[in-house]
Structure 1
Amino acid sequence: MPDRRLPSPPTSPCQSCGACCAYSRNWPRFTVEDDAEIALIPGYLVDDTGSGMRCTGNRCAALVGKIGVETACGIYDFRPVVCRECQPGDEECLTARRHHGLGPLEACPAT
């Protein structure tokens, strides 16, 4: 009988990186989000000024996992616009990867 399982979807290179989420405490900021969008983010993850994500050092508090190994965003569906705009292989991605001693990625489709 033929194997009828669907192939697994390709994983994003972000899931083995996370460098952009631990590059700068100033990076995960709110830019064009309205109050309703920000309200979807759990309050304990919003910084004290209400202008961005809470960070521990340079690492966003919503990031889970180990940089360069396996990572995920704890609020992926509600992440700020700046997080959505950083794409695998773009200049921001490459800057963050260099900061963490990770090699470059080739640009790939958005995930």
Structure 2
Amino acid sequence: MSATDHCQACGACCAHFRVSFYWGESDAHPGGSVPRHLTVPITPYHSAMRGTERTPSRCVALAGDVGRQVGCTIYPLRSSTCREFEAGTAECDKARAAYGLMPLGVGVPA
């Protein structure tokens, strides 16, 4: 099973961590892609995906049931934070544990 398959059956990271990124990644700025209406400002230079700025956290762009089948409704427009998150890392396993899911462990094939 590839990392993409694991992610589409999980989504715990999108429903556990704050997804913050440089505000210039919003589509309100030249070259930005993240839909501005799905973000909230958290500092003068950073925004977060709506829903991840509070606890419990769940990104507004996450569709589906965590641990079963999920998808990102803005996948091609997602922030660098999401693009850089890797399945099977310690952070991934931390999010999975919060939802009672077994760890993937380091080294999940891409």
Give the aligned CA root-mean-square deviation in angstroms.
Answer: 2.3
Higher strand share: 2
Q: Does the CA-based 8 Å contact 2:12-2:66 persist in structure 1? A: yes
Q: Give the alignment partner of residue 51 of structure 1, picking from 38, 47, 53.
A: 47
What does residue 108 of structure 2 align with?
A: 108
CA drift at 1:32: 8.1
Letter in 2 for 1:18: G
Structure exhibiting the larger radius of gyration computed from Cα positions: 1
Q: Structure 2: how far apart are the matches of 1:60 and 1:44?
A: 13
Letter in 2 for 1:13: H
Q: Structure 1: how far apart are the matches of 2:89 and 2:31?
A: 25
1:51 alignment partner, SS class: strand
Asked whether 1:28 is paired with 2:19, we answer yes
* Unaligned runs of at least 5 residues, structure 2: none
* Unaligned runs of at least 5 residues, structure 1: 1-9
2:13 alignment partner, SS class: helix
Q: Deviations over 1:40-71 (max 9, x none)?
A: 22232111546111116400000000000000
What is the count of residue pairs matched by the alignment?
A: 98
Q: Does the CA-based 8 Å contact 2:35-2:77 persist in structure 1? A: no
Q: What is the TM-score normalised by the length of structure 2? A: 0.75
2:47 alignment partner, SS class: coil
CA drift at 1:33: 5.1
Residue identity over aligned pairs, in percent, reads 41
What does residue 88 of structure 1 align with?
A: 87
Q: Structure 2: how far apart are the matches of 1:81 and 1:13?
A: 20
Q: Deviations over 1:57-102 (max 9, x none)?
A: 4000000000000000111111111111211101110110011111
Distance 1:99 1:37, change over 3 A: farther
